[in-house]
Structure 1
Amino acid sequence: MTEKELEEIGDKIVGVLKTIYDPEIPVDIYELGLIYDVFVSEENNAKILMTLTSPNCPVAESLPLDIEEKVKSLKEVNACEVEITFDPTWTSEMMSEEAKLELGML
């Protein structure tokens, strides 16, 4: 795989992430700033490093599985692993301008 092909797969993964919404906030998880990084290996395996709005998030168990399933539905992706981290801790400053506008914070 070329670097460009891997980048295109990464862009498709981001497209999928933008269809997944936080259940408590009407903004997708990507614009919300919950996705810290998306990696795609030469073997077309994806790894997503993300956080949650809080360690007590009600979807802490189900959201990573939902993300893995949706990303694996891309024909270019063989496998997907979601790793949750709380370092750095999520703050509203991590939200995109679009998300802040949507929530009336601008």
Structure 2
Amino acid sequence: MTDGTDKTFIAAPSPADALSQLAPHLPRTDERPAKPRRARVEDAVDPDEETPRDKLERKRDYLDGFLARKPETVPAGEPGGALYEQVVAALKEIYDPEIPVNIYDLGLIYGVDASDDGDVVVTMTLTTPHCPVAESMPAEVELRAASVPGVRDAQVKLVWDPPWGPDKMSDEARLELGML
């Protein structure tokens, strides 16, 4: 140290100072919106003072806001997109004639691919190759998918690999069948 002062540490500049040094073309600090107040330890909720009702309300407010928020920009054909969700809803209306569960929750639908042009490809399987509805089920799936508004063309790919098993069922289907 040449100037004779003891410099044991150097404090980092505040974000506002760093911003003005990095971007001098931005308006001066007095023209910028006020910075949010920094969090302080004393602002924390004391667990001894918070009642269970207050804690539940705080969590409920957070969850309600979280669950109500939709993804900002999801393409129509991606999971969460409008077209994709409409096709899945249409497939959930088709029930296996031998099992009182829809084919989507039963795990017979392996994938739904929807393009922005409205072309839909449903990849599915059946419980067994000798299933009594092996000839009619893929045609019904194709008709249901094609009947969704916004779908230009629907195609069904019937696959046998990987084979279907009870592990492919949703929890709702297992509950309906008494397997949970």
TM-score, scaled relative to structure 2:
0.56
Q: Is the 8 A contact 2:76 2:116 kept in 1?
A: no
Which of the residues 138, 160, 165 maps onto 1:86?
160
Q: Which residue of 1 aligns with 2:76?
A: 5
> SS of 1:4's equivalent?
coil
Deviations 1:24-48 (A, max 9, x none): 1000000000000000123211000
Deviations 1:26-74 (A, max 9, x none): 0000000000000012321100000100000111111111111111111
Q: Which residue of 2 aligns with 1:52?
A: 126
Please list, as runs of the form range in 1=range in 2, the aligned pairs for 1:19-98 lying within 5 A after superposition. Answer: 19-98=93-172
Distance in 1, matches of 2:75 and 2:141, equals 23
Amino acid at match of 1:33: G
Q: How many residues align?
A: 105
State the shift of 1:3 in Å.
4.5
Amino acid at match of 1:89: P
| Structure ranking higher in strand proportion | 1
> SS of 1:20's equivalent?
coil
> For structure 2, which runs of at least 5 residues remain unmatched after alignment?
1-72
> SS of 1:52's equivalent?
coil
Relative contact order, higher structure (CA 8 A, sep 6+): 1
> SS of 1:101's equivalent?
helix
The answer to whether the aligner puts 1:18 opposite 2:18 as a matched pair is no
Distance in 2, matches of 1:56 and 1:28, equals 19
> SS of 1:30's equivalent?
helix
Amino acid at match of 2:155: E
> For structure 1, which runs of at least 5 residues remain unmatched after alignment?
none
State the shift of 1:5 in Å.
2.2
TM-score, scaled relative to structure 1:
0.94
Greater shift in the superposed pair: 17-26 or 2-11: 2-11
**Structure whose CA Rg is larger:** 2
Between the aligned residues of both structures, percent identity stands at 48
Amino acid at match of 1:5: A
